[in-house]
Amino acid sequence: MGTLFDYLDWRGDVSFADLGLNEVDNLIFSLLSYIDFEGIVPPDPGEPPVTLQGAARGYLKLHRGEVPYLGKILPPETITLMAKAAKTRRFAGTKLMAYTNRVDEETQTQFAALTYLPNNGMAYLSFRGTDDTLVGWKENFNMSFMQPVPAQERAVEYVREVVPYMPGAFYLGGHSKGGNLAVYAAVKSEKVLQDRLITAFNNDGPGFDRAFVTGADYLDMRERIRTLVPHSSVVGMLLEHEEDYEVVKSNATGLLQHNGFSWEVLGGAFIHLDTITEESKHLDSALKEWMNTLSAQERAEFVDTFYETLVSTNAKNLTELTAEKIKLVKAWNTLDSKAKSIILKCISLLLKPTSNSMRKKHSTS
């Protein structure tokens, strides 16, 4: 079956004015927000926007036509997607505005967002998922015991800052953590802004704690939340989802299905399946059992201790960390016995429910 690139071949000559935004366009806009448009797309929502065609040209010129390295977790196809989309009638004239990117170690914040203006009078506010930075991963882990995290609060502020500059209705969306931010912003924005929201797309992003998804604000917004997960989802099944999630087919296996470029497309939509795989269900059960085994304080201690171990190597991102494995070993050896005990206890508790779930699976098969 087809991929996002095939979709651009099939539908690239159809404007947004002729055919409105669909779930595949949503994922394309979400993935393009991983690109660093610093100095290319204006940060102030009051400044004149640039077209995707112009932004792509500026980006490739800045990098002298070469595909830059995006880190350990971001697929290089992201740049190819931008270049290809910028040559289609559908996406070339889409305007880009209000690009922001903030990585702050002190507040443990990783937040980036970008707004698209297709030529149909609507807008799509896209939130970036977790990037290569260790700060970004720390903020992700913080979600297991803290709400809101700084990026969630910043997402609400971004909607408040940008939407008044737009005349019509709008979408929110993102991939991975970006999907979580889109939902959080939808739920926590002022009603005058919510009234203009069409849909908040969560593309394989984690959920929230139980109190959040059973709260009145969330339940009022639930019908406008669309959560899309691949059939062997891991990331998208984390924490709680009160809304119904939709399952899409992927041509990858396991955790690699988190890569949106593996999601299969037919015409103007993804190929949908009835349910996630049994393996995904068992892993989801194991992770939730692990989370319930630890108190919020124990989760916080684990995350903080593990993060301090990583940053003690002086690495700023996953690329640097994997290049300095010997430093990671040395960092582990410098930990005191209490810190090592916290990490080892949490890992053993994680492995225990996973092992139990696998035994249950085999005993019933």
The two tokens of residue 234 are 């891991």
- 217 and 295: one domain? no
Domain membership of residue 288 as a residue range:
283-364
pLDDT of residue 336: 66
- 246 and 354: one domain? no
pLDDT of residue 362: 45
Reported as a single tens digit per residue, the pLDDT across 185-201 is: 999 999 999 999 999 99
The two tokens of residue 107 are 């507040």
pLDDT of residue 302: 66
Contact 264, 230 (CB under 8 A): no
pLDDT of residue 78: 94
- 193 and 338: one domain? no
Residues of the chain with pLDDT under 50: 349-351, 353-365
Domain boundary among 248, 276, 304: 276
Give the count of domains, the chain: 2
pLDDT of residue 354: 42
Q: What 3-state class would DSSP assign to 175?
A: strand
Domain boundary among 239, 255, 276: 276
pLDDT of residue 40: 97
* CA-wise closest residue to 204 among 143, 133, 150, 130: 130
CB neighbours of residue 289 within 10 Å: 16
- 72 and 161: one domain? yes
- 355 and 270: one domain? no
- 344 and 255: one domain? no
- 243 and 320: one domain? no
In the chain, DSSP finds a helix count (H) and a strand count (E) of 16, 11
249: domain CATH number is 3.40.50
pLDDT of residue 265: 97
* E-state strands within 221-356: 225-230, 245-248, 265-266, 269-270, 272-273
Residue 15 φ then ψ, to 5°: -75, 160
- 138 and 202: one domain? yes
Domain boundary among 257, 276, 295: 276
- 189 and 293: one domain? no
Question: Within 13 Å of residue 51, how many CA atoms lie on the same side as its CB?
Answer: 15
The two tokens of residue 111 are 């937040």
- 64 and 207: one domain? yes
Contact 123, 116 (CB under 8 A): yes
| Cis previous bond, 148, omega within 30 | yes
- 249 and 322: one domain? no
pLDDT of residue 245: 84
pLDDT of residue 365: 46
- 189 and 82: one domain? yes
